[in-house]
Structure 1
């Protein structure tokens, strides 16, 4: 019997890599007639370095994430995924994507974009996708290519 996924989690953060993962997740959800759960994690550690932090910064990040998630939700529904929901979480993206959401929502496949970090960033903070691969208790698919299985054109990053 073929494996059929029932609940697919895809993490989106606005990066090109996450966009590729999202579009493939829509395709996989369609093919499996699965529910698609979108998650955006607002990393609260980013706010800890701001000495004069006020609630407006968090509100702005939340509002922007909500608008993005609603766009993704519309895209998935327009591509015939019937059960699409999203959540915006606060905290460590690694733990939330690898453990918290999968346990809470009975996820059987996590789809993430390949890391957008350079080698130095990976040494100091580690890649979310790398952590998810090691810690998740369900299948993980790391997406590197577009819907035609071609690598996207990479622009030089400085």
Structure 2
């Protein structure tokens, strides 16, 4: 699915629009994401920190989990934005865990990841570029009854 410029702009706008909801009292590093499904719906997410650290969740996974919880499992693109404690924006690539979750639901050669500083300053990457030789559902062979019998 080729991403139209107008949709890229909309994803960037939507991601920046939910940045204010990020819950980052510890790191002061806010992250937000806007996820586009192949059916054309957009799901947003923000990072949610926790005092115990590991129960926190990244913006990308928040958006993906929201979509999956509503029955969507086919994704075309995601835009990721951030804001540091001084209000600055920079390119914010997804962490390894988020890349692995993307691999579960996305075609790595078709899924576009947009990293945006603002509406005019962005980078676009394919998941395959950011997660070369990624491990996904295709790597697991389906086990049959014949496989269980020696």
TM-score, normalised to structure 1, is 0.34
Greater strand fraction, Structure 1 or Structure 2: 2
Higher helix share: 1
TM-score (norm 2): 0.35
